[in-house]
Amino acid sequence: MGAGDHVGIRAGARDTGAGPEPAAAAAAPDAARHQPGARLADRVLRRVRRGPYDLRRSPARPGDPAGGRSAGPGSPLQRGPAAAAADLASELAGAAFSPGTDLPVRFGLVVDGDEVRSLAVAYSHLVFDAFSHSLVSGFLERSLEGAAVETPHVRDLVRREATDRMRERSEAALSQWSSALSALPPGRGFRLPSAGSYTEWALHSREAAVAAQTVATRHRVNTSSVLLAALGAALRSVLADPPAALLLVASNRHHPDLAGFPGIALQIGLHVIPPAGGEGTVHEYLRSTQDSAIRGYAKARYDTTRWRETLVAMTERGTAPDLSFYFNDARRSRGWDGLEHRAEELASWQPGDANVTAVASHRIRDATMFAYVLDGGPTARIHLVCDDAVIPPAQADAVLRGLAEYLVRRALAG
C-alpha cells in the first residue's frame, strides 16, 4: 500500500478560540477514523474549527522543550505558507498507510500566531478517489474561510460529471475499460433493470471474519480484497458460467442513500477477476486481486450517458463479458481489527457450520448477483442478492458456503 496523495490548501481564517486545544489533535483523527469521503471531511473540519493545531510543533524533539520547528530564516513558513503546506504534506505522506493500524487520513495546519495560513492533507489512495480529494479540499477550505458546509448530494455528482473536464476524464477511463473488457470472454452482457424473482441470502459468521482478518494480515492485503478473492474462487467453483469481472460499487462513500443499490446509476469500477491458480500461488492470487480492485476503484466512473452507451455497444458486438455481477464493501467500521489473534478458534470449524439463510426477496433488480458486506462488529455480514433464474437457491447457498470455506482453509493453511 502506497503512501497516498497529498494536497496543500491555502486559507486565511482566524482562530477565534483561546488557542490550540491539545485535545483537538487527538480528537480529530479519532472522529475521522471510519468516515471516508465527504463524511470524513465533514467530521474532520468540525473538529479543526474548534481549535487549529500545528503538527509541525509536535512531538517535542530532544533539546527543544517547547517542541516544534524553527520559523527562522529559510524555514518553510518563512518561505511562505504555500511552501510550508507543501513540505508538511510531503512529510505526512512520506510513510505508507497500514490498512490495519493506520488512519486513512493525516492532516495538519500551518499557523502564524492566531492565523491559519495553510492546511496540508495526506490520505490513503484506498480510501479516497479523485472526487473525494475534491470534496475534502473544498470542505476544509470553505470551513477555514468561515463558510457553511453542506453535505454533497447525488445531484452534485451528476453536475460535476457533466463538465468538459470530467467528460474528458470519463473518455480516458472508458478507453481503459474497453481494452480490459475486450480481452475477456464474452458473456450475457450489460443488464438493465428487469422484473423477476431475486432472493437475498446472508452469511453471518464470526469465523469468516477471523479467517479474513488472519489471511489479510498474513499476506499484507486488505480484508476487502480477501473477500473479493474468496468470492471469485467460490463463483468459479459453483457456477458453470462464472463471470470474468465484477463491478465495484463506490458511490456509497459519498452518499449513504446509495449504499444498498447496485446498478447502472452508480459510480462503479471494473474488477477483473484474476485466475485463482493452485495452492502454491495463494499469495499471488490475493495480491493480484487487491491490485485489480485498487485499479477498479481508482478508475470508478459515475454513470454518464457516454458510459452506458459504450457498455451497451460493446455488449451488442459481443466483445463485453457479463457485467451484471456487483460487489460493494459498505463497512464503515474496523470491527475485525485484532481478530487474527483468535485464529486458533478456527481449528474445529467445519463447512457445515456456515450459517446461510434467505433474508429477503426482491421483484426488480439490475444485477444477476450483488454481493455486499455490512458492518457487524467482529462478525462478518456478507449478503448475496441473486437472480433465481440464473443462480438458483442451491447455488447461491453454495457460493456463500464456498466463500466461508475458502477463507477458513486459507487461514488454517498457515
Please list the pLDDT of the chain residue by residue as tens digits (414 residues).
233 333 433 333 333 222 222 222 222 333 333 333 444 444 544 444 333 334 444 332 333 222 233 333 444 445 666 777 777 777 777 766 665 555 566 766 666 665 666 667 776 655 554 555 666 666 666 665 666 556 555 566 667 767 888 778 778 888 888 888 888 888 888 888 889 999 999 999 999 999 999 999 999 888 999 999 999 999 999 999 999 999 998 766 555 566 666 776 677 889 999 987 654 589 999 999 999 998 888 777 777 677 778 888 888 888 889 989 999 988 877 789 899 999 999 999 998 899 999 999 999 888 999 999 998 999 999 999 999 999 999 999 999 999 999 999 999 997
* 185 within 8 A of 319, measured Cβ to Cβ: no
Which amino acid makes up residue 249?
V
User: Is residue 157 situated within a structural domain?
Assistant: no
Q: What value, to the nearest 5°, has the Cα angle with vertex 297 and ends 291 and 302? A: 155
Residue 357, strand partner residues: 202
Domain at 236, CATH number: 3.30.559.30
Burial 212-245 (b: 16+ CB within 10 A, else e): bbbbbbbbebbbbbbbbbbbbbbbeebbeebbbb
257 with 406, same domain: the answer is yes
Query: Quick one: how far is CA 46 from the chain centroid?
Result: 23
Coil, strand or helix at 343: helix
171 with 116, same domain: the answer is no
- The rounded distance, in Å, linking the Cα atoms of 349 and 72 is 63
170 with 304, same domain: the answer is yes
- The rounded distance, in Å, linking the Cα atoms of 181 and 167 is 20
140 with 250, same domain: the answer is no
139 with 279, same domain: the answer is no
User: Is residue 158 situated within a structural domain?
Assistant: no
Give me 270's grid cell: 471494473
207 with 75, same domain: the answer is no
Q: Is 392 exposed, middle or buried (0-12, 13-18, 19+ CB in 10 A)?
A: middle
The bridge status of strand 380-387 relative to strand 369-374 is antiparallel
230 with 335, same domain: the answer is yes
Give me 160's grid cell: 460535476
Domain region containing 179: 163-412
Query: pTM of the prediction?
Result: 0.67
Give me 279's grid cell: 495452492
Residue 373, strand partner residues: 329, 382
